[in-house]
Amino acid sequence: MSERTPESETTLARWFEREFPYRPPVDLFPAIVARLRGAPARLEELCAPLTKAQLVKPDGSDWSVQEHVGHLGDLEPLWAGRFDDFANAAAVLRPADLTNAATHEAAHNDASIADLLSRFRRMREDFVARADAMTNDAAARTSRHPRLDQPMRLIDHCFFVAEHDDHHLAIMNRLADRGSS
């Protein structure tokens, strides 16, 4: 295996710089829900071999692996609330706290990783159960995303959440790789 250098490492777009022009066909809704269903297992698999020191070691000014896990759990109420917004035909989805205050104030590094993973799994299972109960017509309901300022269907929201999971999983994988070398 070749050694990584800063010049050879691929970059990952910052979350708030991402745009979401892709609009998946509604008949892909079950596949997107499957991605959401799999996130807790992928997190558990990533964290299982890591020591407490590797889990809580921050990378410069960024969050540690454990803080990223906590952050994903911190956002589950927002995702579920936006689900409610779609169900209630809200014109605009509820906004996110773009400062991530809940994560910054939570002291996730002081928590048990098992508790953080269990919390995320429990909340995600609730979200997925609601998504599983949706029809294609419900998945096509539209509201405006407040930060992106664009129409978003429920299926787009689920895709957005899955992309957010994968964004943080990619960062955590890099942190785990660096922590093991």
**pLDDT for residue 121:** 98
Q: What is the DSSP string of 31-52?
A: HHHHHHHHHHHHHHHHHTT--H
- Angle among Cα 78, 31, 71 to the nearest 5 degrees reads 30
What are the residues whose beta carbons fall under 8 Å from the beta carbon of 150, sequence distance 6 or more?
A: 20, 144
**pLDDT for residue 42:** 97
**pLDDT for residue 180:** 58
**pLDDT for residue 128:** 98
**pLDDT for residue 61:** 64
**pLDDT for residue 9:** 61
Helices (H) and strands (E) in the chain, counts: 7, 2
pLDDT averages per 10-residue partition of the chain, 181 residues = 48 74 89 97 97 87 92 98 95 96 95 98 97 92 95 95 95 82 51
Quick check: helix, strand or coil at residue 66? helix
| Residue 179 tokens, joined | 């922590």
The three-state (H, E, C) secondary structure of 143-174, written as one string:
EEECCCCEEEEHHHHHHHHHHHHHHHHHHHHH
**pLDDT for residue 179:** 61
Tell me the domains of the chain and their CATH numbers: 23-179 (1.20.120.450)
**pLDDT for residue 173:** 92
**pLDDT for residue 77:** 98
Element (DSSP H or E) covering residue 101: helix 101-105
Rounded to two decimals, the pTM is 0.89
**pLDDT for residue 75:** 97
**pLDDT for residue 16:** 64
